[in-house]
Amino acid sequence: MAANVNDPSDPVGPVVSAAHLADGAVPALSELEFALTVAGNAFQRWMVHCMTAAGVPGLTSIEVQLLHAVNHRDRDKTQSDLCMMFNIEDTHIVTYALKKLQAQDLISTGRRGKEKTVIITVQGRDACSRYREIREKLLASSLKALNVDQSAMRSVASLLQVLSGQYDQAARSAASL
């Protein structure tokens, strides 16, 4: 049973960002949300610094993610493909990011029928390769040395995928209130 935020016998209680949200039907949800927030911020900071170390400074975390996605499987992608992949509603974010990546010659544009497409350039592929090398050296090797259980990581990833669907459904419901 999860600790009650208002339990006087537990002076520390669970680590949450908002005790009033943790004092509900699923207290562990607040712990998870706080951990997601902190991990998300750390992950975004990592992506930016890793890409800077790879020789491409000035990108935001979403731009780094989009660059890797465009590089994924060496196929052209549409803006709608990328929005769907990352569950991004605001297409302007992706439009701006793709223009910035194109201006830095990391991606180029093309067409698939009437749709505009993007594909990785040699410079973009090289940046992704350097990022991967740095990621392997600084992050993957330390996780391996710590013997982090990869099956546990997969389980966490599966849980997060399930939760993303629950948050999407709850968002649709909230929008109708």
- The C-alpha atoms of residue 123 and residue 174 are separated, in whole angstroms, by 43
Lowest mean pLDDT among 32-36, 69-73, 100-104: 32-36
- The C-alpha atoms of residue 86 and residue 93 are separated, in whole angstroms, by 12
Name the β-bridge partners of 77.
118
Instruction: Give me the residue spans of the domains in the chain.
Output: 26-146
26-146 — its CATH code?
A: 1.10.10.10
**Residue 59: helix, strand or coil by DSSP?**
coil
**What's the pLDDT tens digit per position in 31-40?**
999 999 999 9
**What's the pLDDT tens digit per position in 118-174?**
999 999 999 999 999 999 999 999 999 999 999 999 999 999 999 999 999 999 999
